[in-house]
Structure 1
Amino acid sequence: MAVSAERTKDGGHLRPSSISDGVHERIYEKLMALEISPGARILIDGLARELNVSQTPVREALNRLEREGLVRKAHLVGYSAAPQLTHKQFEDLYDFRLMIEPEGARRACHDMTAETLARLQLAAADMEKGEQPVDSNSRYSRFARADAHFHDEIMKIAGNEVVRQALADQHFHLHIFRLMFHSRVTQEALEEHERLVAAFRASDADAAYAAMHNHISRSRDRLVAAFA
């Protein structure tokens, strides 16, 4: 599969960033859809041939994916897909989220303004009504990114950058969507997000806390079946 690239407005040279972004997106989708299995080695030359690009944008994409937690790099070994979460890691991540995010939602509610509420509503709407994925692979990546953005917006409004960064560093949205992805998971998450937004609209901090706690608990219940 070739990766398309954009030209400058005057029809000049290809923009390298466009090629790099396209390669990143394609590898990201392959990782999320488990086309590249967790723990599997990733051969740069093989991906370059498959995507019909040079090795340089592949290396750039893999460096980005390493920062995003989906790829590992080992000395003298090279790149490999990040291993799948173990059951214990999964439970630890959800315990961490339950300790942090409901209180974050409560604080965000106290600090909510008309502007930040509008931004949060846009993030929620993008998950349901944004650009439609072209295939099942892009569906994995798009929903995971939108879900991560929605939760990050809440923590941004809550105002504690240490906590926000601690959550971001876990890359849990990317890892949990590699566990299981189907319409029930996404539809129920959308409904739970709407209940969160409704609590923010009503300026009800206790309802926001409860809605976030319920959302994370139900998310854990939906996904734990992956370990059965």
Structure 2
Amino acid sequence: MEITAGVPRLEPRQPLVADVHAVLVDMMMNHQFAPGARLNIDALARSLGVSPTPLREALARMEAEGLVLKEPRRSYTVAPLIGLEELRKLIDFRLLVEPAAAALAARHASDEQREQLEAFAHTGGAGAQDAAANRLDMIYDATFHDLIASFSDNTWLRDALARLRSHLHMYRLYHHAGQAAATKPEHVAIAQAIAANDPDTAADAMRVHLTTAMRRIDDVFANSRL
């Protein structure tokens, strides 16, 4: 199965790889590329109005993020949705790391960083179902968790979380199920605990957030909407 129809054409200029990457991720998050679909690079490049070079570079980034797969001497295919058991393992790992990150941020963040995090927590969760809103929600979630990891003053911890790319896989589910906005009040609770310099409450709030995220994922699978 090749995907070329319905591809939004970019402006007639040489785009940055990031531009192409953003368009492709938007389409994947909104299920315009079905899991398992084969991506014809030449046809997709023509549809986007770009040369194959930035497209290949964008797809290589998506391969590193686990969103597409590449077989030797063949084109890319869209990665399957991560399974329920793998998602449980992913959340289990995050439960080991992110409550500690929140506690460390509560101890080490500067006053300016605390204000920044709390203000940012209130900005997300648009909840709309269009591509632009979906991407904003994805960026909001990823940025929020990265800010906490950054403010923890532990580069090893931040790098480990960045490599997970978990927000990309989870948002492939959330956007389809209309649950992306549900995380906002949980983010606000975490940010408020960090702003209050309360490590224990920050860790507990992060723990609640992640376990609640797993329950939302369970609901997605139980409702068989994917």
Q: Normalising by structure 1, report the TM-score.
A: 0.85
Alpha-carbon offset, residue 145 of structure 1:
1.9
Query: Which residue in 1 is equivalent to 2:24?
Result: 27
Alpha-carbon offset, residue 102 of structure 1:
0.8
Give unpaired runs (5+ residues) of structure 2. 1-7
Query: Which residue in 2 is equivalent to 1:10?
Result: none
| Secondary structure of 2:124's aligned partner | helix
Aligned mates of 1:111, 1:55 — CA distance in 2: 45
The one-character-per-residue Cα deviations of 1:85-144 (angstroms, maximum 9, x if unpaired) are 111101100111111111111111011211221332343244258xx98x7123222211
| Secondary structure of 1:72's aligned partner | strand
Q: Greater shift after overlay, 158-167 or 89-98?
A: 158-167
Alpha-carbon offset, residue 80 of structure 1:
1.5
- CA RMSD in angstroms, aligned pairs only: 2.2
Q: Verify the 8 A CA contact 2:125 2:180 in the aligned structure 1.
A: no
What amino acid does structure 2 have at the position aligned with 1:101? E
What amino acid does structure 1 have at the position aligned with 2:181? Q
| Secondary structure of 1:37's aligned partner | coil
Query: Which residue in 2 is equivalent to 1:140?
Result: 134
Q: Quick check: 1:176 aligned with 2:170?
A: yes
The one-character-per-residue Cα deviations of 1:28-65 (angstroms, maximum 9, x if unpaired) are 11111111112222111121122122222211221222
Q: Quick check: 1:201 aligned with 2:198?
A: no
Alpha-carbon offset, residue 207 of structure 1:
1.0
Aligned mates of 1:168, 1:72 — CA distance in 2: 20
- Cα distance change, pair 86–184 in 1 and its aligned pair in 2 (3 A): closer
- Cα distance change, pair 183–117 in 1 and its aligned pair in 2 (3 A): farther
What amino acid does structure 2 have at the position aligned with 1:91? R
Q: Verify the 8 A CA contact 2:107 2:197 in the aligned structure 1.
A: yes
What amino acid does structure 2 have at the position aligned with 1:172? S
Q: Quick check: 1:2 aligned with 2:14?
A: no
The one-character-per-residue Cα deviations of 1:154-185 (angstroms, maximum 9, x if unpaired) are 01111222222222212110001111327862
Q: Quick check: 1:65 aligned with 2:62?
A: yes
Aligned mates of 1:128, 1:226 — CA distance in 2: 18
Aligned mates of 2:73, 2:55 — CA distance in 1: 18
Aligned mates of 1:114, 1:177 — CA distance in 2: 31
Q: Verify the 8 A CA contact 2:125 2:182 in the aligned structure 1.
A: no
Q: Greater shift after overlay, 97-106 or 19-28?
A: 19-28
Matches within 5 A, 1:118-197: 118-128=115-125, 136-181=130-175, 185-197=179-191
Matches within 5 A, 1:12-51: 14=13, 16=14, 18-51=15-48
Give unpaired runs (5+ residues) of structure 1. 6-13
